[in-house]
Amino acid sequence: DSRRKFIWEEMSYLERWWRDPSTTDVMKDTFINLVQNGQLEIVGGGWVMNDEANSHYYAIIEQIIMPDIWWLIVEL
């Protein structure tokens, strides 16, 4: 149903799913299509959800940059 929408926050779980040997190319292509047609939106985009426990600015920046590096490696 193309009216349904889903948001994804924590990139660390996405990376684990992507690397899992049981994740097929068809599943990855489906994921990419869902992102491209707006049914799946990546919000925040941090490695983990940023919260008050991550109180030092370096840790906040690092957890936001890590997924960007992963995206470059995966070449999406």
Q: How does pLDDT run across 59-73, given as a tens digit for each residue?
A: 888 888 888 777 777
Three-state DSSP state, 58: helix
**Residue predicted with more confidence, 3 or 71:** 3
User: Residue 61 belongs to what domain range?
Assistant: 6-74
Model pLDDT for residues 5-29, shown as the tens digit of each residue = 999 888 888 989 999 999 999 999 9
Q: Does residue 29 belong to any structural domain of this protein?
A: yes
Helical pair 11-19 and 57-74, crossing angle rounded to 10 deg: 30
- Distance separating alpha carbons of residues 73 and 40, to the nearest angstrom: 21
Q: Does residue 13 belong to any structural domain of this protein?
A: yes
Whether the pTM exceeds 0.75: the reply is: no
Domain count, the chain: 1
Helix ranges restricted to H, the chain:
11-19, 25-36, 57-74
Contact 37, 2 (CB under 8 A): yes
pLDDT greater than 70 at residue 53: no
Paired strand residues for 7: 41
